[in-house]
């Protein structure tokens, strides 16, 4: 991928902390996190379940505000969601009351995307129905789809509005291995063509290394960045990469760190005396 202006900082977290109020008191979920995401970066977050990954993504999306610290986009504070950031949440975010094609068209009909005429919108919807292999289901409702199909529909919705930033929370988790691999290549193709900046959460270290130029290993809760692992492989990437020694070494390094954090998180959530 010919990444333009890769040194240009876009999103910046500075000393960000977050806590939630729970029945048993405040729970610190993010602790003093600082990082930046540059134009064209593909950043993946990996870390144990419950460590605060979705919380970090929700802060970048502008859905929640941190308890302290600052979060900026191009130097301006992020105070809410915006059409520049396409977000795909863990629970997919498809509207159950809309058909498949209406779901894909939904974002195109929002105010921020009103530049397109109805023929252009139809073409975009048709393109993504085809890419996601959902053409036969265009009139179906989400409840009539399988989990993997719903996930492909959510991907179509996210890509269809061509956001500058793509923020995705485990977007490929419900897919079979072959579809997942096809979706990886489609995402890399979209990035190549459109030069997007991506923040992705995944539990698959393999996926993180294959797709990203940087992997952030997140600690056990409260989330801190344990290590930023630079992934040096040039884009476009091909699946053969996954068979190389260098790929294997990065994968096992990250995997070991994640396992360590996973163990720390487990110890935290065990009742006293059992850890």
Max CA pair span of the chain? 65
Closest CB 20 distance from ligand ATP, rounded Å: 3
- The smaller minimum CB distance to Mg ion, of residues 49 and 120, is found at 49
Specify the 3-state DSSP secondary structure of 77: strand
**Calpha distance 184→187 (Å, rounded):** 5
Does residue 219 touch ligand ATP according to CB under 6 A? no
Q: How many helices (H) and strands (E) would you count in the chain?
A: 7, 10
Using the rule CB under 6 A, give the single segment among 6-14, 19-27, 116-124, 135-143 that binds ligand ATP.
Answer: 19-27
Q: Which does 12 bind (CB under 5 to 8 A by kind): ligand ATP, Mg ion, none?
A: none
Using the rule CB under 5 A, give the single segment among 53-61, 217-225, 237-245, 257-265 that binds Mg ion.
Answer: 53-61
Does residue 269 touch ligand ATP according to CB under 6 A? no
Looking at residues 73 to 112 of the shown chain, list those that interact with ligand ATP (rule: CB under 6 A).
90
- The smaller minimum CB distance to ligand ATP, of residues 34 and 144, is found at 34
- The smaller minimum CB distance to ligand ATP, of residues 142 and 222, is found at 222
**Structure tokens, 52:** 């605060």
Does residue 53 touch ligand ATP according to CB under 6 A? yes
Closest CB 219 distance from Mg ion, rounded Å: 15
Cα 27 to Cα 22, 50, 62, 250, 254, distances in angstroms: 7, 12, 20, 33, 27
Looking at residues 32 to 51 of the shown chain, list those that interact with ligand ATP (rule: CB under 6 A).
49-51
> 18: buried, middle or exposed (CB in 10 Å: 19+, 13-18, 0-12)?
buried
**Calpha distance 255→56 (Å, rounded):** 21
Residue ranges binding Mg ion (CB under 5 A): 54
């Amino acid at each position: 991928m010919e990444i333009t202006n890769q040194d240009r900082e876009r999103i910046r977290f500075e000393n960000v902390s977050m806590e939630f109020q729970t029945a048993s008191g405040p729970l610190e979920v993010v602790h003093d996190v600082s990082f930046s995401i540059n134009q064209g970066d593909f950043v993946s977050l990996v870390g144990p379940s419950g460590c605060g990954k979705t919380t970090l993504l929700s802060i970048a999306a502008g859905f929640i505000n941190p308890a302290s610290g600052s979060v900026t986009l191009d130097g301006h504070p992020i105070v809410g969601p915006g059409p520049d950031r396409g977000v795909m949440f863990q629970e997919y975010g498809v509207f159950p009351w809309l058909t498949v094609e209406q779901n894909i068209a939904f974002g195109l009909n929002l105010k921020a995307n009103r530049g397109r005429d109805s023929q252009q919108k139809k073409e975009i919807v048709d393109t993504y129905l085809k890419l996601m292999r959902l053409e036969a289901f265009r009139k179906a409702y989400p409840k009539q789809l399988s989990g993997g199909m719903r996930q492909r529909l959510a991907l179509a919705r996210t890509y269809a509005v061509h956001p500058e930033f793509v923020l995705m929370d485990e977007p490929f988790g419900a897919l079979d291995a072959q579809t997942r691999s096809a979706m990886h290549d489609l995402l890399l193709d979209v990035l190549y063509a459109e030069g997007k900046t991506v923040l992705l959460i995944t539990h698959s270290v393999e996926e993180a290394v294959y797709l990203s130029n940087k992997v952030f290993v997140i600690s056990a809760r409260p989330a801190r960045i344990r290590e930023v692992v630079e992934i040096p492989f040039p884009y476009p990437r091909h699946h053969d990469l996954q068979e190389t020694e260098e790929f294997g070494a990065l994968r096992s390094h990250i995997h070991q760190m994640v396992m360590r954090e996973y163990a720390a998180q487990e110890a935290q959530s065990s009742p006293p005396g059992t850890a």
